[in-house]
């Protein structure tokens, strides 16, 4: 008979093992969802996950709750869990929210950042530069997300930060979905926009930070919208 992992009287070692199990399942599935290894709408089987990680279903369920809270998985009325579909019908709302958060968080970072936070943002920008030079699209998408998340944290508003990270992760799935639409020009445009953003934050120029962030957001939204239109046109041509 196995230990009941929900029992508060169980040994500390068992609790630590459960916590490690939750973390392992959560981090692994989040990575696979964001990188489209697990595609939108695909089933998530708790029994198979428990077998895969060599743990009971309790920590798997806890990981599912965390992922659901971030909008990455959805439990259907029949209690069947799937990877959250990308909400294409409401993308205009997503783009509005994303654009606003780019501006708000960059403005706040310019006003509130510390030298340590500025150095951390610069280090991520250096990582983005390396990814661009290597034409490593998955790395570009991941480091770009972390770059903007670091800017949000430097703004010191945890509500904006939490919302923006969720939006960035959803955008990361979209970019991975349409990564083939990248060309050599766009990442270098983003690279320069990042440099302009960094300069404004370093100089604590709030208005310049707002301007650059707005232009950066508009560029990204245009790219995703163009990729979606091209994808639909291609699919329509294939079906003819």
Closest CA to 2 of 57, 76, 64, 75: 57
May I ask the CATH class of domain 12-83?
Answer: mainly alpha
pLDDT tens profile 26-49: 999 999 999 889 999 999 999 999
Return the pLDDT at 9: 44
Residue 154: which of 187, 198, 189 has the closest Cα?
198
Q: Where are the domains of the chain?
A: 12-83, 88-239
Containing 47, the helix (H) or strand (E) segment is helix 46-53
DSSP state of 85: P
Which parts of the chain sit beneath pLDDT 50? 1-16, 237-240
pLDDT of residue 12: 42
Assess whether the region 12-83 and the region 88-239 belong to the same CATH fold: no
Query: Given this model, what pLDDT does residue 232 score?
Result: 67
The class (CATH top level) of 88-239 is mainly alpha
Distance CA 164, CA 156 (A): 13
Helices 206-239 + 185-202 axis angle, to 10: 160
pLDDT for 184 equals 61
Give the SS3 label for residue 232.
helix
pTM: 0.79
Task: Determine the pLDDT at residue 13.
Answer: 44
Q: Which tokens is 164 given?
A: 């923006």
Q: In this structure, what DSSP letter does residue 66 have?
A: H
């Amino acid at each position: 008979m196995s230990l009941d992992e929900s029992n508060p009287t169980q040994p500390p070692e068992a609790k630590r093992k459960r916590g490690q199990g939750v973390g392992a399942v959560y981090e692994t599935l989040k990575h696979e969802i964001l990188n489209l290894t697990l595609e939108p709408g695909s089933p998530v089987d708790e029994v198979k996950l428990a077998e895969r990680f060599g743990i009971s279903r309790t920590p798997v369920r806890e990981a599912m709750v965390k992922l659901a809270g971030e909008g990455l998985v959805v439990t259907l009325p029949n209690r069947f869990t799937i990877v959250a579909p990308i909400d294409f019908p409401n993308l205009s709302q997503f783009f509005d929210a994303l654009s606003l958060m780019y501006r708000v968080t960059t403005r706040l970072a310019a006003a509130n950042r510390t030298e340590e936070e500025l150095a951390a943002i610069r280090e991520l920008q250096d990582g983005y530069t390396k990814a661009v030079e290597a034409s490593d699209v998955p790395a570009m998408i991941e480091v770009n997300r972390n770059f903007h998340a670091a800017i949000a944290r430097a703004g010191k508003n945890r509500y904006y930060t939490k919302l923006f990270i969720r939006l960035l992760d959803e955008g990361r799935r979209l970019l991975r979905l349409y990564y083939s639409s990248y060309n050599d020009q766009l990442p270098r445009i983003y690279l320069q926009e990042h440099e302009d953003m960094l300069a404004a934050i370093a100089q604590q120029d709030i208005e310049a930070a707002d301007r650059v962030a707005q232009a950066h957001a508009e560029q990204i939204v245009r790219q995703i919208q163009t990729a979606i239109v091209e994808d639909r046109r291609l699919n329509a041509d294939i079906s003819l």
